[in-house]
Chain A
Amino acid sequence: MYVAVKGGEKAIDNAHSWMSEIRRGDPSVPNVSLNQITEQLTLGVDRVMSEGSLYDKDLAALAIKQSRGDLIEAIFLLRAYRTTLKRFSYSKPIDTANMLCLRRISATFKDIPGGQKLGPTFDYTHRLLDFKLLAENETPLSPTQQFENKKVPHVLSFLNQEDLMQKEKDNNLDPIDITREPISFPTSRAARLQALSRGDEGFLLGLAYSTQRGYARNHAFVGELRIGLVEIELNIPELGFDINVAEIILTECETVNQFQGSKIEPPQFTRGYGLVFGQTERKALAMALIDRALRWKELGEDYSGAPAQDEEFVISHCDNIQATGFLEHIKLPHYVDFQSELELIRKIRADAKRNVKRL
């Protein structure tokens, strides 16, 4: 009797050692190396880095290996590691106009200064399983595989010249760091963009899709989508100048959205903005659409009650580490609460029965 909750400690140890064994799989199959993950599962690594909000390919690969390919679990591992790191400085803002592009497309202009560049993309591939990959020794070669070696201007800057594009104003405030300060609502666009950039790809995708289907519809043109290398610069006060501390790959998406104009402003194009670590195109697009939907108040648009317009709803629920933790906590014992519910429901049922008899 009374064995149900005993032995927790031993059960945990046993479960974990079993899990380690299963994680390794059949020992006659070679162990997957971190190099293999960073080189061949690159987009998975990029997703883990972006939602883990820590740019480190090797750690992301380690997390993917440790989590048996469960990317949300991998993101969690990276986040938990990230919080233990010292914050010794903030980098200078990245200028994405200086990006050396791997890919750069615009859906608004056929020809753009600097040219369109498809880069390594799944777009226009036929989604047919490639059985050649079953042979493990293939080494495909491509004649063109270079990053651009010169910077190219942002496509939207050409619309800026005509004043057709709403100018983004710098409010000269230091943006909050949402990993160091709690968000309170209503919040700033800077805080929203931070939350979206590390938000769950699936959640953002669904919400962005909902805006396309009419829930806060605001048709978005992809003004520009660019993926490439940017430099991270740090100002060292002791040295008195900036030094380049890293090069990272970013995906940036700027959408051009219609704006009917309001009482105070003439019609103008407006921008939705997405910026994400790594090659994370779907996420950056979704982020831009949601950013734009969330700007309704600032632009004097109507609130249609759509989920994607609801800042508190979107930002409070986009983080998959918060979401998965709370969702999965219902696996924990709830004996006590359930017991109190049992007592209550028995009492209410007994009362109801008594009342029926009385009738």
Chain B
Amino acid sequence: MNDMSKDKNIDIQIYNFAYLDENTKRMIRRALLKALCIPGYQVPFSSREMPMPYGWGTGGIQVTSACLIPKDVLKVIDQGADDTTNAVSIRKFFQKTANVAVTEKTSDASLIQTRHRIPETKLKEQQILVYQVPIPEPLRFLEPRETETRKMHALSEYGLMFVKLYEDIAKHGHIETAYAYPVKTNGNYVTDPSPIPKFDNPKMNNNPAIQLFGAGREQRIYAIPPYTNVKSLDFEDYPFEAMKANFKCSICGSSDSYLDEIIVSDDGKRSYICSDTDYCKEQTQLNSKEEDQ
């Protein structure tokens, strides 16, 4: 234990609080403020090389680094879980460089960095949710050129996106997007929600927490301020539909949380469990309390 705290002190001495130097943090905070003022607008920022690879959460890490203060309580999840490898790695990084308190409990956290999920537990005011974003441009796979897509956003020229959604329906009867399902923020910019399953999309709407998005490799930051209207794109006759596996969690029995499918035997038997490990734990505790009573 002594050794560990010694190591921590050394790391804190070598690097600034939360790793990034204050000038870089200021640059990121400016981008964040701009992003909050123009909900859904992708603000270019001078992303730094981090000691983790691009594509592994460097955008989220930089945003977290710029937001962290010593009294913060940090939660890091990947795929909804606190103990997935990359979540462990990122949490350790901030424990080492910022020495902040960490938690797995969604309701105890002041700042949550996430990859691919929004926690099941409702977020509150004063909480910050930081998303790791691989491709911030929702139009990228329709038009790869940034020079074009920026124009399309500026002119609200989103016809191409609606044509894509329409073609999906014409071909398959469904919109063929299961995750990273595009949303319109504050009735204005079409925004990439990061690769969360579309099950999570409705949670973005009118959320009391601040939602910040960091794309390190692509050098973009965007944001959704608290209580902002976020609407998943759809058609009147084909309304948006959140989707999850139609089962119950085999641990906590929950039927309203997003489920991961796991293969439990060599003959391919499936079982379903909550992707949000904290929510699953909470539900299990609630269940056992009820049983006790």
Chain A residues proximal to chain B, CB less than 8 Å? 1-2, 4-9, 11-12, 76, 79-80, 82-84, 86, 179-186, 312, 316, 321-322, 324-329, 332-337, 339-344, 347-348, 351
A9 touching B179, Cβ below 8 Å = no
Closest Cβ of chain B to A355, distance in Å, is 8
How far in angstroms is the closest Cβ of chain A from B75? 15
Judged by DSSP, the binding face of A is: helix
In the complex, which residues of chain A have a beta carbon less than 8 angstroms from the beta carbon of B289?
none
In the complex with contacts A180-B46, A182-B46, A326-B134, A335-B260 CB distance below 8 A: yes
Cα-based distance from A180 to B243 in the complex (angstroms)? 42
* Extra 19 A-B pairs, beta carbons < 8 Å, given A1-B271, A336-B116, A337-B195: A5-B79, A79-B49, A182-B46, A329-B54, A336-B196, A336-B275, A337-B178, A337-B179, A339-B261, A343-B178, A343-B244, A343-B245, A344-B243, A348-B172, A348-B173, A348-B174, A348-B176, A351-B172, A351-B173
B145 within 8 Å of A (CB atoms): yes
The reply to whether B273 and A324 contact each other, CB–CB distance below 8 Å, is: no
Cβ-neighbour of B116 out of A182, A185, A334, A348 (below 8 A): A334
What total of chain B residues lie within 8 Å of the partner, measured CB to CB?
A: 62
Question: Taking A325-B54, A326-B54, A328-B55 as contacts, is the C-beta distance between A8 and B88 under 8 angstroms?
Answer: yes
Which residue of chain B has the shortest Cβ distance to A53 in the bound complex?
B49
Of the residues A79, A186, A340, contact of B243 by C-beta under 8 Å? A340
- CB of A325 within 8 A of CB of B56, answer yes
CA distance A76 to B52 in the complex (A): 9
The answer to the question of B47 belonging to the interface, with a C-beta cut-off of 8 Å to chain A, is: yes
- Asked if B55 contacts A326 (CB within 8 A), the reply is yes
Selected A-B contacts with CB under 8 Å, 7 pairs? A5-B79, A5-B83, A322-B54, A325-B58, A336-B275, A343-B243, A351-B174
Chain A residues whose CB sits within 8 angstroms of the CB of B260 once the complex forms: 335-336, 339
* CB-defined contacts of A334 to chain B, threshold 8 Å: 79, 116, 195
Known: A5-B84, A79-B49. A86 touches B21 (CB 8 A): yes
Q: Decide if A339 touches B117 in the complex (CB within 8 Å).
A: no
Q: How far is the CB of A333 from chain B (nearest CB, A)?
A: 5
